[in-house]
Structure 1
Amino acid sequence: MLSNVNSVTFSPYQKIKSIKQAIKILGDQVVKQITLNQLLYNKLIYHKANFEFEQLSFWQHCLFVAALARTIASNLDHADPDLMYSAGLLHDIGKIILETHAKVNYSAFIRKSMNAIEPSYKEEHAFFGITHAEIGLIFCKHWLLPKPITASVYCHHVLPDDDSQYADCKYDIAIVSLANYIASLHGIGSSINNHRPILQPEVLELLNIEKLNIKQLLN
């Protein structure tokens, strides 16, 4: 928290040395995001990941998608851009759960599917019998996470049908899907694969892309 508040982003006139001061300057939402980032990293990534599953690349991808989802949401006047940050941070949570807790881990899947033709989430189902989105849904329900986050975790590769319980979250899902696509397109993926990222056409129909300056977003 002190590292963040003393960064160039906030550029205080004097070095902040107390947590109390830091919280006042950062604000509740930023403090929540820092806490969530650290909790996820400490509990699921730092002590567990190994082999082909590169935890640093995965973590960079999560942070990139989270920041980009929040920026996209802000530009589109979303009611809660910070909620979209959390959804972006957790969208691939199923992958790290499979890596750290499955009997056959995600590293084994990566080794097996290096030359696969199908998109990775389809190959996951053939390998594990479940996808990272499906295991992510179980995680979200167990932790009673907000519906837009749960929907984004479960549906960021395939948007829900109109009769789905998550149909009312399509707009939120589309924001995370676009952020995930941009990240993967620029080589910031959550795992190594040979597939070119795919963006569902419906995403562009749901979002007012004209309001987004992609170059500025990437900067």
Structure 2
Amino acid sequence: MDSLSSILKKVKQLDPIPTVIHKVLDLADNPESSLKDLVAVVERDAAITANLLKTVNSAHIGLPVKVDSIQQAVSMLGLQQVVEMVLAQNLGSNLKRSQKGYGLAKGDLWCQSLTVAMVARTLARQRDLMSLPAIYTAALLKDIGKVILHAFVADQIEAIQQSVARRGMSFVEAEKEVLGMDHATLGGIIAKQWHFSSHMIYMIENHHLPDPAARNDPATATLYLADMVAMMVDTGIGVDRLAYHVHQDVFNDFFPDKQQLKSLMITYKGLQREIQGFFKAD
């Protein structure tokens, strides 16, 4: 079996995060920053500006006029949507690959991550949570550890699945026991190396709520629930689907009426179809 050091060495093989992402997140989270500040940061990067305008003007977005500037894009779509587009366009390169150890084909993890991010944003808005860009970004990157770990999981999948089936472990617990590392902890290590905030690192590390205290952090609980909704809908995708602990108290807190959960699952399917349609049209 490969050692823990072998796993950690592979982190350096990931595509780096553009520095503009940190600037965008800082400005989006700062109530004292102006719209002009954010537009100026994005416009300084020609590649990001070009890709963003291409997306905004795509048939999928369906705007009635051609958009020629970031300022115009923000005025027509709103600041939050433009920020999300910038994040999505610049955080996906690593996640678009196949993760064979997890049974994920090329594009599966990225599509799921985008959909979970949209659901997490929806839940966060319903509960009037702050730091929407941070929650959205953590949702996009929650499974970044799988990009590295999937090859190691493939080598030890029988042992991992036996621990899940025979000992009642969650998939992430079995990963840690068999490999010495689980994808959530590895995701936190990667987020730290990419210089994300301590809270975002915490959300990624704890998106399966292994730390009981995480259940009391609204942002982390939101990310957990969005991820669980994805698992309940996408039961046929990935070897680890539903092999996780269900924290009923968190579900009860967010969804006192079971119809609310059913409605969110329907929302997830709709968002998923929308994203898949965008990929096909691209």
User: TM-score w.r.t. structure 2 length?
Assistant: 0.61
Is the counterpart of residue 119 in structure 1 residue 166 in structure 2?
A: no
**1:145 corresponds to which residue?**
196
Paired with 2:158 and 2:241, the residues of 1 have a C-alpha distance of 12
> Alignment partner for residue 174 of structure 1, among 221, 225, 235?
221
Deviations 1:146-179 (A, max 9, x none): 23321221112125344xxx68x72111101111
Which of the two has higher C-alpha Rg?
2
**2:68 corresponds to which residue?**
18
Is the counterpart of residue 186 in structure 1 residue 233 in structure 2?
A: yes
Paired with 1:110 and 1:76, the residues of 2 have a C-alpha distance of 38
Paired with 1:8 and 1:198, the residues of 2 have a C-alpha distance of 41
Indicate the structure with greater helix content.
Answer: 2
> Alignment partner for residue 105 of structure 1, among 152, 161, 177?
152
**1:54 corresponds to which residue?**
105
User: TM-score w.r.t. structure 1 length?
Assistant: 0.76
Q: Which runs of 5+ in 1 are unaligned?
A: none
> Alignment partner for residue 77 of structure 1, among 124, 128, 140?
128
Which one is further off, 16-25 or 79-88?
Answer: 16-25
Percent sequence identity is 25
How many residue pairs align between the two structures? 208
Which one is further off, 140-149 or 20-29?
Answer: 20-29
**2:180 corresponds to which residue?**
129
Does the 8 A contact of 2:99 with 2:147 survive in 1?
Answer: no
- The CA RMSD over aligned residues, in Å, is 3.2
Deviations 1:77-107 (A, max 9, x none): 11233322112111112111324xxxx5344
**2:92 corresponds to which residue?**
41
Q: Which runs of 5+ in 2 are unaligned?
A: 1-51, 268-282
In structure 2, the CA distance between the partners of 1:159 and 1:194, relative to structure 1 (3 Å rule), is closer
**2:4 corresponds to which residue?**
none
Paired with 1:80 and 1:26, the residues of 2 have a C-alpha distance of 19
Paired with 1:122 and 1:80, the residues of 2 have a C-alpha distance of 29
Greater relative contact order structure (CA < 8 Å, 6+ sep): 1
Query: What code does the residue aligned with 1:41 have?
Result: G
Does the 8 A contact of 2:171 with 2:244 survive in 1?
Answer: no
